[in-house]
Amino acid sequence: MLVKDVMTTKVVKLSPDNSVRQAAKLMFDHHVSGVPVVDDDGRLLGVISEGDLIRRAELCSEASVLMADMAIDPDDRANAFIRRCSWRVGDVMTANPVTIEEV
């Protein structure tokens, strides 16, 4: 069996600038658990999954933000907060996914 025999060919996709809310709606509407994230030229940048959305929600809770900030170098706190509480796909996606050719 080849990958092309089982792969999905009509793939929905997102931009890194799409909102996390748009990503969740797209996954729900299309009954998928993950969506590729591509740049303007169609190059794959990453994948956003239900797991990425769940982790974002967990990490952005007030208690975990306070606990996590205690262990972070002060210079990195702003970037860490943005990463945990971002509303953009590009900030919460899994970058550099493993890919495979269709044949």
Tokens of 59: 């990490």
Q: Which residues pair with 48 in a beta bridge?
A: 35
- Helix ranges (H only) for the chain are 3-6, 20-30, 50-59, 62-70, 77-85, 89-92
Domains of the chain, earliest start first = 3-95 (3.10.580.10)
pLDDT score recorded for residue 39: 96
Render pLDDT for 30-39 as a digit per residue (tens, 0 to 9): 999 999 999 9
The pTM assigned to this predicted structure is 0.71
pLDDT score recorded for residue 82: 63
Report the C-alpha gap between 102 and 76 in whole angstroms.
40
pLDDT score recorded for residue 38: 97
Tokens of 75: 């210079």
